[in-house]
Structure 1
Amino acid sequence: MYMLNDKDTLLGHPKGLFLLFSTELWERFSYYAMRAILVIYLTDKTVNGGMGWTTAEALNLYGIYTGLVYFTPLIGGWLSDNYISKRRSLILGGSLMAMGQFVLALPDGFLPILPLHSFYLGLAFIIVGNGLFKPNVSSMLGDLYPANDKRRDGAFTIFYMGINVGSLLAGIVVGVVTGIMGWKSGFFAAGIGMLISLVIQMLFAQRYLGDIGKIPGAKLALENNKSKKEPLTKIEIDRLKVIMIMGLFVVVFWAGFEQAGGLMNLYSHDYTDRVIANFEVPSSWFQSLNPFFIIILAPILAIIWGKMGPKEPNTPVKFALALFFLALGFLCMIGAVMEQGGDLTVKTSMMWLVGAYFFHTLGELCLSPIGMAMITKLAPLRLASLMMGSWFAFNALSNYIAGVVGAHVETLGALDIFAGIAISSIIAGVVLLAFSNTLIRWMHQSEDGSCSHIHPENQTDNDEVATENKHQLV
């Protein structure tokens, strides 16, 4: 386990948390700035600087792109654990992502290749770079805290607010700059955000992270075990099973949630009355509703969990709540479609979208930061980045499914899609509640303070089994 000076803290947390907070904030600004305009850019007329694609083509591309963005961290996490190290992966990945955004921002014809090929090249740089960057920021955050430190969940909540500050700024900034200078300026703004993230990391990482992330996790684990490669224990296998099973429910949640960047994004642009006192609200600004609600609701929800004390819901129950909130959000979207009454020329109230993003945000807060914290509790040290990558791989499948589902809007209709997602979410939530006790048992006390998770690289198998026998859950 990495250790830092306990006195080097801010607000009760290691200062490295706030460095990683800032690094992730600007990386997320970059990602969400690009995501906020991608589908609209693809479907806009070429005379306006868009690509002129059909809705189905754009949403299919969106699903493939976002799916790959969340799949490559599985490969990047494995490379970081075994060969490159987290710190090097982060710098290399961030550099590739910045290059990708700037390639997208180049005027057509600037490179000696077709504009479409230039577009795909920019996406490829972002996809590969994200694979190296994304799993390592989260896993280094877990490395800041001892295995039994109760501050870990709170740290991920603070970290998650950084993600959403970046997302909030992204929607607002890209809405302004693209309205003035066109689509390409939005990609350029995204590239600037990624450069800021890199500069922050390069200037302050050594000061506030020390040696964290410098040595590949697998090599460090071998050193801690006196160069012996230990097999997985039964407790580790049980905990890994929990990660895999919980990941299936994550797929259901994000497949619905990620309609925000696809079908819901197009709905806000084409079918929502966005005029307030003669001012037309840019459709990309609706992408900032989610992070805005995150910033407002995260501390409130944290206080509620704290007030509940021992009655605080466990991780599987929180995931089930997330699925139920997702369903409520899509009930709002069903209301929007019903307001149209089948007439696509009717513009619906913005309040339907506001309500949808509000409930989706509550669901996200019950799932995403809780899930990342769960990975750092359950994953063995030598597999930390790989398992964080696998967590994002579930998101990859979700995003691909989201794109495929959204692309059927022209044949199924928005009402059927929104209703289908709501029903699927409710069913998944009920199933998860039914199996929650089994999942808690397989976590082996990682959910309570009496026997917090300890990486087996720092403890012998015999000691771990003895601890398990002593504190066996009923």
Structure 2
Amino acid sequence: MTARSPELFGHPKGLSFLFGTEMWERFSYYGMRALLTLYMVKYLLLPENRDRVLGLDAFHRTLEAIFGPLDVQPFASQVYGSYTALVYLTPVLGGLIADRWLGNRRTVIIGALLMALGHFMMAFEHLFLFALLALILGNGAFKPNISSQVGALYAPGDARRDRAYSIFYVGINLGAFLAPLVCGTLGERVAWHYGFGAAGVGMLIAIAIYHFGTPYLPEERPRAKASTSSPRTPLTSEEWRAVGVLALLCVFVTFFWATYEQQGNTIALWADENTDRAVNLLFWQGDVPTTWFLSLNPFMIFAFTPFVVALWARQSRRGTEPSTLTKMSLGCLGVALGNLLMVAAALEASATGKASALWLVAYFAIVTTGELYLSPTGLSFVSKIAPARLISMLMGFWFLTNFTGNFLAGWLGSFWSTMDKGAFFLMIAGVAGAASAAIFVFDRVMKQNPSGQAL
């Protein structure tokens, strides 16, 4: 910790600045993400606009060489999937740069400046691909180093650390909740570039908060140096078994993210094209902006988390709490059930032209519950099973499931415009259901972890 470590609300004051920084960074990320697919499908990739984008034809030909012919919507889904995948890959590089050379603070600032630049570059169509590249690289520098500073505020063994990360997670979801309401509304109702510009302003606010909070942030850690001591001890058979277990589980979890991450892609298109968004109230008449539906997930995380945690505590007292792997299986099942619900919504839309918005509300409620069962428990599983000397590396490996899952999500989303919508949702439900079944069977096989503790 730094020499100055005053407290605010029972936590180091630095936590408040990191909370604010992360909230506004997530505001910028989710604001841009809420608009990205709609922007491409409804504006940027139309024949009269796409020729202005530098490098787009070459990138399009590259993707078609891999995936075959791609019309506007499939190409947009592939771009979306590639972007959201790469923002989960580059943090590995960002963490290495900070550890080896620049330190957390400078790497965070560099990443934040790159992201702000990327958001403002989105206002210029010809710089679209370069804007995405700046955002990918900036996120890689920013994300791992802001998160690691939260833990560094607390001494080893400080019981407040877990609560600190819970508070920090609230900041993430608060930014994600506000972003579609602000950036999405500006982008849809005023101009696309106003929405992207608002995301850029959010990133500048994040930079300002981080700068003013510098005196309260943790001191920089010593740079890592190559070891010149005795050779590393080879992994034991139990450690290799733990690595193998996590590697296999990562394959299953990839399919969870591939189906879950349809939210900003095909679900956004469904809300725009196939949902009755009309509102007729005394104080408001008109259509609800499409991007507002993307605020439902972070809002429901706020609302549902206390109930899920209370349920697990009650089950624990009764000795009926599901194992970690069973919870993860249930998380995948939640995504499967949410998409089965959308099959019914597609039947209504085919009969009446538009489906009720309540279908989407119910979809997000079920899928969000699934997320709460899988995402945090997955981190818990890694912390339980990973050998102590490999835990950082394996935690980073675990986050790569978001990378592979988002790439797969883009490929699955490319079928949206060529499939019947009910069949598409059934396909997504089948992928999530297969992952759920695989993890459930895996849990039956993995009765104990390598150290013999029940999972």
Work out which of the residue numbers 66, 73, 92 in structure 1 matches 2:84. 66
CA–CA distance in structure 2, aligned partners of residues 416 and 375 of structure 1: 35
- Counterparts in 2 of 1:77 and 1:378: CA distance versus 1, 3 Å: farther
Which structure ranks higher in relative contact order (CA pairs < 8 Å, sequence separation ≥ 6)? 1
Shift of residue 89, structure 1, vs aligned partner: 2.2
Identity of aligned residues (%): 39
CA–CA distance in structure 2, aligned partners of residues 401 and 80 of structure 1: 29
CA–CA distance in structure 1, aligned partners of residues 102 and 117 of structure 2: 20
Give the residue type in structure 2 aligned to 1:210.
P
Moved more, 179-188 or 289-298: 179-188
1:248 pairs with 2:251: yes
The residue number in structure 1 matching 2:62 is none
Work out which of the residue numbers 270, 273, 281 in structure 2 matches 1:267. 270
Work out which of the residue numbers 276, 290, 293 in structure 2 matches 1:286. 293
- Please list the CA deviations of residues 382-410 of structure 1 after superposition, one character each: whole Å capped at 9, or x if unmatched: 86665444333211111111111111123
1:346 pairs with 2:353: yes
Work out which of the residue numbers 80, 83, 97 in structure 1 matches 2:98. 80
Moved more, 60-69 or 78-87: 78-87
SS state at 1:266 partner:
helix
1:129 pairs with 2:138: yes
1:140 pairs with 2:149: yes
Q: Which runs of 5+ in 2 are unaligned?
A: 51-70
SS state at 1:214 partner:
coil
Moved more, 42-51 or 329-338: 42-51
Checking the alignment, whether the CA contact within 8 Å between 1:34 and 1:190 is kept in structure 2 is yes
- Please list the CA deviations of residues 238-280 of structure 1 after superposition, one character each: whole Å capped at 9, or x if unmatched: 5544543332232111111111011110010011000010321
Shift of residue 120, structure 1, vs aligned partner: 0.6
SS state at 2:89 partner:
helix
CA–CA distance in structure 2, aligned partners of residues 315 and 38 of structure 1: 35
CA–CA distance in structure 2, aligned partners of residues 399 and 130 of structure 1: 16
Checking the alignment, whether the CA contact within 8 Å between 2:123 and 2:193 is kept in structure 1 is yes
Checking the alignment, whether the CA contact within 8 Å between 2:242 and 2:387 is kept in structure 1 is no
CA RMSD of aligned residues (A): 3.3
Moved more, 89-98 or 308-317: 308-317
**TM-score, length basis structure 1:** 0.80
1:101 pairs with 2:96: no
The residue number in structure 2 matching 1:193 is 202
CA–CA distance in structure 2, aligned partners of residues 386 and 262 of structure 1: 30
1:27 pairs with 2:25: yes
1:317 pairs with 2:315: no
- Counterparts in 2 of 1:148 and 1:307: CA distance versus 1, 3 Å: farther
Shift of residue 314, structure 1, vs aligned partner: 3.8
Give the residue type in structure 2 aligned to 1:404.
W
CA–CA distance in structure 2, aligned partners of residues 5 and 392 of structure 1: 33
The residue number in structure 1 matching 2:260 is 257
- Please list the CA deviations of residues 179-201 of structure 1 after superposition, one character each: whole Å capped at 9, or x if unmatched: 45300011111111112222222
Moved more, 290-299 or 310-319: 310-319
Q: What number of residue pairs does the alignment pair up?
A: 428
1:56 pairs with 2:88: no
Checking the alignment, whether the CA contact within 8 Å between 1:81 and 1:386 is kept in structure 2 is no
CA–CA distance in structure 2, aligned partners of residues 177 and 229 of structure 1: 58
**TM-score, length basis structure 2:** 0.83
CA–CA distance in structure 1, aligned partners of residues 381 and 3 of structure 2: 25
CA–CA distance in structure 2, aligned partners of residues 239 and 198 of structure 1: 40
Checking the alignment, whether the CA contact within 8 Å between 1:236 and 1:378 is kept in structure 2 is no
CA–CA distance in structure 2, aligned partners of residues 33 and 181 of structure 1: 15
Q: Which runs of 5+ in 1 are unaligned?
A: 109-114, 446-471
SS state at 2:402 partner:
helix
The residue number in structure 2 matching 1:166 is 175
